[in-house]
Amino acid sequence: MSNRTELVKGEKSLPERSRDIPSLAPLVDIYENDDEILLHADMPGVDKKDITVNIDNGKLSLCGVRKIEAKGTVQWEEFGNVEYRRTFSVPQTIDVNKINAEVKDGVLRLHLVKSEAAKPKQIEIKAA
């Protein structure tokens, strides 16, 4: 009976098997025009609900997790779960209330709208 008790205790002390999800920096293209900064981040296979975008104190953080449901026993795996994570410094001239984001075809598109004060203005020259 004591062997049975030790065996049960031994099973409880086994470490749980888990796999860490690798973290990658997504490839990003950044464009700027007079009205906004456009940021395109490549996050293939990431669902909209698994993406977070935060901006705080001049730092823009992107995070997205791709989850692949495996059916059956893994024989070979090169395309699995992954976490995309990247942080950028953004100018204080961005109007935080007007930022919008969309995801389409695995690309996150962020529109960082500039505040009116940051937009270039044409100065009219008056005749004297």
Over the chain (128 residues), what is each successive 10-residue block's mean pLDDT? 43 49 95 94 95 93 91 84 95 90 96 82 79
On whether the CB atoms of residues 21 and 86 are closer than 8 A, the answer is no
User: Taking the chain, what is the end-to-end CA distance rounded to the nearest angstrom?
Assistant: 108
CATH number, domain of 95, equals: 2.60.40.790
Both tokens assigned to 4: 């049975």
pLDDT of residue 26: 97
Residue 49 structural domain:
24-68+76-115
Assigned domain for 125 exists: no
- Does some domain include residue 48? yes
Question: Given this model, what pLDDT does residue 37 score?
Answer: 94
Residue 120 lies in a domain: no
**Residue 14 resides in a domain:** no
Q: What is the per-residue pLDDT for 2?
A: 45
pLDDT for position 61: 95
Per the structure, how many domains does the chain have?
Answer: 1
Identify the bridge partners of residue 41 per DSSP, sorted by sequence position: 28, 108
Q: Is residue 127 part of a domain?
A: no
Cα distance between residue 94 and residue 35, in whole Å: 10
